[in-house]
Amino acid sequence: MKNEINIIALDGPAASGKSTLGERLANYLGFVYLDTGVMYRAVTLAVLKQNVDVEDETSVVQVAEKMDLDFCPPSCSDGRSNDVILEGEDVTWQIRKPEVEAYVSLVSTYPGVRNAMTMQQRKIASKGGIVMVGRDIGTVVLPNADLKIYLDASVEVRAERRYNELIHRNQNPDFDFILSDLKRRDEIDSTRTVAPLKPASDAIIIDSNKMDAEQVFQNLVDIIKTRKLN
């Protein structure tokens, strides 16, 4: 049977749960899953590894344009959805380090960086059968996506979820730091000149403040069924 929905754009602020939802949805549909935030994290990590000043926009863009980035099926069962390979090195968990978290929002504001990543993202999506997750997928990267979802939640709820996630990874997080950092990232993401974080005009907005991951997933499955996927 031919799918009427072939490309899904899933956007939302940091720690809204969109990555978990996107991956599960892709598995359910038999689609490819791509978290575009990983690409910006990889750029940030590459910049840090090369000792480039993150505030030197020109140099950061050059790193983004030249870096060798690849995605592969997961090589081990440690919670990863795929392997992130940067310059031949597995950096799947390195891109989740606090120093990357601290600078990724800034790096992602640079137009040249976004242009470089957008070109790669559109090329990947051109094959169809994909759930692409990010902050500007429905508005900029894939404006003609068959279905656009914007997953939202209050910053306090998102901070609590991120805190619990880090606890589950046997880390020792500071809730107040997480909360202030999410507020900082929200400000940067929503006010940047290029591709600011916002719902697409035709996106379906899901408020997950009072919903757990299972409820959000079932809600989205119901939405897809009403679009007569099959």
Average pLDDT of the residues in 85-109: 93
Question: Can you name the residues that pair with 85 across neighbouring β-strands?
Answer: 70, 90
The predicted model gives 163-169 an average pLDDT of 90
CB half-sphere exposure, 216, CA atoms < 13 A: 26
More confident of the two residues 36 and 2: 36
What average pLDDT does the segment 166-184 reach? Answer: 93
pLDDT (mean) for 63-86: 88
Closest CA to 135 of 23, 26, 226, 9: 9
- Tally the C-alpha atoms within 13 A of residue 189's C-alpha that lie toward its C-beta: 22
pLDDT at position 144, please? 96
Give the pLDDT score at 1: 34
Amino acid type, 146: D
Q: Are 163 and 180 in contact (CB under 8 A)?
A: no
25 has pLDDT over 60:
yes
- Rounded distance between C-alpha atoms, residue 215 and residue 151, angstroms: 13
Mean of per-residue pLDDT scores for the chain: 92
For the chain, domain boundaries? 7-225
CATH class, domain 7-225, is alpha beta
Query: Tell me, what's the pLDDT at 229?
Result: 47
Q: What are phi and psi of 85, to 5 degrees?
A: -110, 115
The yes-or-no verdict on residue 31 having pLDDT over 70 is yes
Q: Which of 46-50, 68-72, 110-114 has the lowest mean pLDDT?
A: 68-72
pLDDT digit string, tens, across residues 192-229: 888 899 999 999 999 999 999 999 999 999 999 887 54
